[in-house]
Structure 1
Amino acid sequence: MQSWPCSSSARPRPPRPGPLLVLRRTTAGTPGSARSSTFRHSASPRRNSSPPPKWFTGSPVDDPLREKQVLATAARQAGEAGADPDTTVRIFRDQIDANKEVQRALHTRWDADSSRAPESSPDLTEVRREINRVSADLVRAIADSAAARAAPSCGGTLTATKALVRRDRHFDRLRAQALTRALGSVCAQGVFWK
């Protein structure tokens, strides 16, 4: 059995709201003084701390209805928080796509070698509750970080923060690639590392 969440040397740890880690810290304090903290909050896909529940249910990774609900909720919350709904939806879409890339890769691994598959399933209801909480925090972080995301230094800050997140969370190659995908639309200049 493979240890979770990221590499064989990583100890399991409680779930942390990955996508927020980057954005929340970017806007804390004076402009630029805590940029990497905010960016760190949005730097990783919304859920990466337990096995994907869909592995245990046999449900497909793609769930267009659920994705549509998540994106509609994000757009509505963005309007309420003073964030641009279109930008928020783009960032959320990147997060969802990154998460699905991880799930597909893990399912493929586990299909090929069931001894590496997790033995127990997280509760899907609890997972969705956590995702909803983290998503609401991410919308607020997007609203709070508009200036930092529009700054010319956004790409560099995000790149540096990505390295910190990868190191701090002991991301393996799969999760590092997903991290890159998840951050594609964070900076206002657009996708800068896909």
Structure 2
Amino acid sequence: MSTRTRVARGVAALSIAGTVALTTPPASASADESLSRLTSFVVERLRVSDDVAAAKFGTTSPIDDPAREQQVLDQVRTQATALGLDADDAAAFFRDQITASKVVQRGLFARWTARPEEVPTTRPDLSLIRTRLDRLTSDLLGQLKSTEDLRAHRIPCRVHLAIATGSAAVLERLDALHREALGTAVHSVC
């Protein structure tokens, strides 16, 4: 995406934010904080994708693993139902997380293939990574639950989400690859 396109989108988001601010009651700070926490967990999950890529690069482990993906989505549906969340909405959100992880993995594979000197020197253990991902799944589901009311109101949610993701991209110093993945990962939030 070009700089001009990013600037235009940013201006549009700020314009929408201003319009929403003038036409809706002010949101509580807790709503902003909740979406920021949700976005922080999404970014943390994206960073774990770096480790997944490092574990798989140069091995026969595929980026696409439909059986594992289905297992994750089945677990998400079960946990979401237990929390009182819509299982289909939670599964859609986690499908986006999986897709975003693949964006990161494919991007890193391409980078490392083009620049072998950047290949990680250690190979993380996928079973330990999966433990981290399981914890993040619980954290993300908890944040989906805590933001349920806000997310039900599409336009205010989208404005707050744009602010939260923009802030996270800057504060976490995400590169272009991880910013792209972040956009994919939050697609189904609102």
Which bracket does the TM-score occupy, shorter chain normalised?
0.7 to 0.9
Q: Which position in structure 2 is the counterpart of 1:37?
A: 33
Partner SS state of residue 93, structure 1: helix
Question: Which string of whole-angstrom CA distances, capped at 9 and with x for unpartnered residues, describes residues 60-93 of structure 1?
Answer: 1001001000000000000000111010001000
CA contact (8 A) 2:93 2:187 kept: yes
Q: Which position in structure 1 is the counterpart of 2:6?
A: none
One-letter amino acid matched to 2:31: R
1:21-32 residue pairs with structure 2 within 5 A? 32=28
Question: Which string of whole-angstrom CA distances, capped at 9 and with x for unpartnered residues, describes residues 8-58 of structure 1?
Answer: xxxxxxxxxxxxxxxxxxxxxxx6222222212332352414432211533
Task: Please state how far the C-alpha of 1:135 moved relative to its aligned partner.
Answer: 0.3
Normalization by structure 1: what TM-score?
A: 0.76
Q: Which position in structure 1 is the counterpart of 2:166?
A: 163
Q: Which position in structure 2 is the counterpart of 1:154?
A: 157
Q: Unaligned regions of 5+ residues in structure 1, if any?
A: 1-30, 188-194
CA distance in 2, matches of 1:33, 1:58: 47
Q: Unaligned regions of 5+ residues in structure 2, if any?
A: 1-26
Higher Rg of the two aligned structures:
2
CA distance in 1, matches of 2:116, 2:183: 28
CA contact (8 A) 2:46 2:182 kept: no
CA contact (8 A) 1:74 1:89 kept: yes
CA contact (8 A) 1:75 1:89 kept: yes
Q: Which position in structure 2 is the counterpart of 1:122?
A: 124
CA distance in 2, matches of 1:36, 1:56: 41
CA distance in 2, matches of 1:32, 1:117: 44
* Aligned pairs, number: 157
CA contact (8 A) 2:46 2:178 kept: no
One-letter amino acid matched to 1:148: L
One-letter amino acid matched to 1:110: W
Instruction: State the structure with bigger RCO (CA 8 A, min sep 6), 1 or 2.
Output: 2
Task: Please state how far the C-alpha of 1:145 moved relative to its aligned partner.
Answer: 1.3
Q: Structure 1 vs Structure 2: percent identity of aligned residues? A: 33
Q: Which position in structure 1 is the counterpart of 2:47?
A: 48
Q: Which position in structure 2 is the counterpart of 1:143?
A: 145
Normalization by structure 2: what TM-score?
A: 0.78
